[in-house]
Amino acid sequence: MPAKWLKDAVFYEIYPQSFKDTNADGIGDLQGIIEKLDYVNSLGCNALWINPCFDSPFRDAGYDVRDYRKVASRYGTNADLIRLFDEAHKRDMRVLLDLVPGHTSEQHAWFRASQSEDQPNPYTNRYIWTDQWFAGCDLNFIAGEAERPNAYIVNFFKCQPALNYGFLKPRAPWQLPMDHPDCIATREAMKDVMRFWLSQGCDGFRVDMAASLVKYDDDQKSGTCAIWREVRGMLDAEFPEAALVAEWSRPDLSLPAGFDMDFILNDPHTNYATLLRDYNAPVDNTYFRRDAPARDARRFLDIYLPWYEATRGVGYISLPTCNHDTPRPRWHLTETELKLAYAFLFTMPGVPFLYYGDEIGMRYRILPTKEGGYQRTGSRTPMQWDDTANLGFSEADPQVLYLPVDPADDAPTVAAQERDPHSLLRFVRALLALRHGEPDLQADAPFELLCADPDRPLIYRRGGLLLAINPSGEALSAEAPIEGRKPLFTFGDATLDGGRLTLDAQSFVILK
């Protein structure tokens, strides 16, 4: 069963280097997050996911961890992070850290010992090493850079050697089985990392590449799932309210394995991209675009619904507005289109995630790569607070900023949208307040799809509430069980006539 506090949770993802700089070095910091906790809370977000803030050479923006138990100096100190936990808890907010269990930096002390010519040692098999200078297999590897005369397997970039959790079905002598003592030691070391931060006040973890642990796993990820079930057992015994959210996009696998939540991301098998960013398809039929030539919510729902039915009561599916790896939805959607998209995301079952800046419609920008971001860099730009220098992100010289701020004259800011009663920010705040106030809009309330025909409004039920969305540029209507109901929340115009519901172009309604 998922942690009880997740029932009414709404998360806000913070990319720490880009959120708020308080010491004028051009990089965001933990003190900046603390100073903005009241703002985040005012949105209706009562939980945070903070991208990696541990010591790192930052070849991959912190996803190359050099020390799991030490905060990167550019963000502050361990004491600052503990104070962040405390300040969040004073506001009844929770904090998840980003755990990277599948690999470390090549500068991690474990790897330095593992690659040393002084063999064997306690870390000899902490990573996956071949028995020769090349891999001789289909796994990605690096050779010729270690003291050991072997190649090592990597998980993602060259700088991220894979930790050794074993192979479900070893094919060579150097491929250790999962029950090898050294593979068990890797699991225990990662549990100890989790214990360390949970004991300091952390409320759980977002788990990076959660499916990547066991190599040569089967289609059901049996080996990796077994490890996460073991981790869940530890958490249930020692930290029963700790929450885990998986970067996996397979809730049918991750949730039974012990995760509380699983993101549905832009992976091709999810069709999540068809909702907000279908522009890589031959024809852009993004569902929430007003002028989509052939919109069809079933492209996503036909995949989502079986997952939802299979995991009800086991855990939650999380729908994010965006994340640090995904182009911001404002890149191709207007503010009105964003309002309709958020209306859907924030009223669906599960636990939603709002990416920093999406509440004001920050734009995706084409920028040179930074810290391994490549095309993802454009979604990681500084938060836009007001019309002061660097849009309120930092008092540093613009030349030293982590990334440049949006130079456009109409760059959206929090301050400007606070003054506008019709702004996207105000819409998000009102919608999330309604979600918190209505139990039937929260994570575990029942969901039933009533209509998903392309030429009719999208209509669904959450508990006793009826919701309908029309993202198109023309009025749409459908028969619906609306008798005795009245509007609870509207955007645009809705007409109730007998048993027929008509929504004007680009409209949304909740009926109670």
Report the SS3 class of residue 272.
Answer: coil
For residues 260 and 332, state if they share a domain: yes
Q: Is 170 among the domain residues?
A: no
* CA dist., res. 213 & res. 216, Å (int): 10
Residue 146 amino acid letter: A
Cβ-based neighbours of 484, under 8 Å, separated by 6 or more: none
For residues 35 and 55, state if they share a domain: yes
Q: Is 362 among the domain residues?
A: yes
Residue 481's pLDDT is 95
Q: Is the dihedral of CA 153, 324, 391, 37 positive or negative?
A: negative
Q: Which of 424, 440, 456 is the last residue of a domain?
A: 440
Would you list the DSSP string of 190-212? HHHHHHHHHTTT--EEEETTTT-
For residues 97 and 116, state if they share a domain: no
Q: Which of 440, 474, 493 is the last residue of a domain?
A: 440
CA distances to 57, 59, 377, 383 from 371, in Å:
9, 5, 8, 18
**Tens digit of pLDDT at every position of the chain (512 positions):** 899 999 999 999 999 999 999 999 999 999 999 999 999 999 999 999 999 999 999 999 999 999 999 999 999 999 999 999 999 999 999 999 999 999 999 999 999 999 998 989 999 999 999 988 777 788 999 998 889 989 999 999 999 999 999 999 999 999 999 999 999 999 999 999 999 999 999 999 999 999 999 999 999 999 999 999 999 999 999 999 999 999 999 999 999 999 999 999 999 899 999 999 998 889 999 999 999 999 999 999 999 999 999 999 999 999 999 999 999 999 999 999 999 999 999 999 999 999 999 999 999 999 999 999 999 999 999 999 999 999 999 999 999 999 999 999 999 999 999 999 999 999 999 999 999 999 999 999 999 999 999 999 999 999 999 999 999 999 999 999 999 999 999 999 999 998 999 999 999 999 99
* CA dist., res. 381 & res. 367, Å (int): 9
Strand pairing of 500-503 and 94-99? Answer: unpaired
Residue 225's pLDDT is 98
Q: Is 389 among the domain residues?
A: yes
* CA dist., res. 96 & res. 91, Å (int): 15
For residues 277 and 364, state if they share a domain: yes
Count the Cβ atoms, other than its own, within 10 Å of residue 464: 13
Q: Is 154 among the domain residues?
A: yes
For residues 300 and 366, state if they share a domain: yes
Residue 281's pLDDT is 86
270: CATH: 3.20.20.80
For residues 98 and 114, state if they share a domain: no
Residue 19's pLDDT is 98
Q: Is 147 among the domain residues?
A: yes
For residues 98 and 22, state if they share a domain: yes
485: CATH: 2.60.40.1180
Q: Is 435 among the domain residues?
A: yes
* 418 in Cβ contact with 39 (< 8 Å): no
Q: Is 169 among the domain residues?
A: no
- Domain residues for 478? 446-511
CA distances to 139, 163, 184, 223, 224 from 101, in Å:
18, 8, 14, 15, 12
For residues 433 and 284, state if they share a domain: yes
Residue 134's pLDDT is 73
For residues 91 and 144, state if they share a domain: no
Which residue, among 378, 383, 376, has the nearest Cα to 358 in the 3D structure? 383
Q: Is 205 among the domain residues?
A: yes
For residues 363 and 406, state if they share a domain: yes
Q: Which of 386, 414, 440 is the last residue of a domain?
A: 440
Q: Note if the pTM is more than 0.85.
A: yes
Angle between helices 335-345 and 424-437 (to 10 degrees): 10
For residues 414 and 459, state if they share a domain: no
* CA dist., res. 246 & res. 227, Å (int): 13
Q: What are phi and psi of 454, to 5 degrees?
A: -60, -30
Tally of domains in the chain: 3
128: CATH: 3.90.400.10
* CA dist., res. 243 & res. 262, Å (int): 11
For residues 277 and 414, state if they share a domain: yes
* CA dist., res. 381 & res. 316, Å (int): 29
At 419, list the tokens.
């003054």
* 30 in Cβ contact with 50 (< 8 Å): no
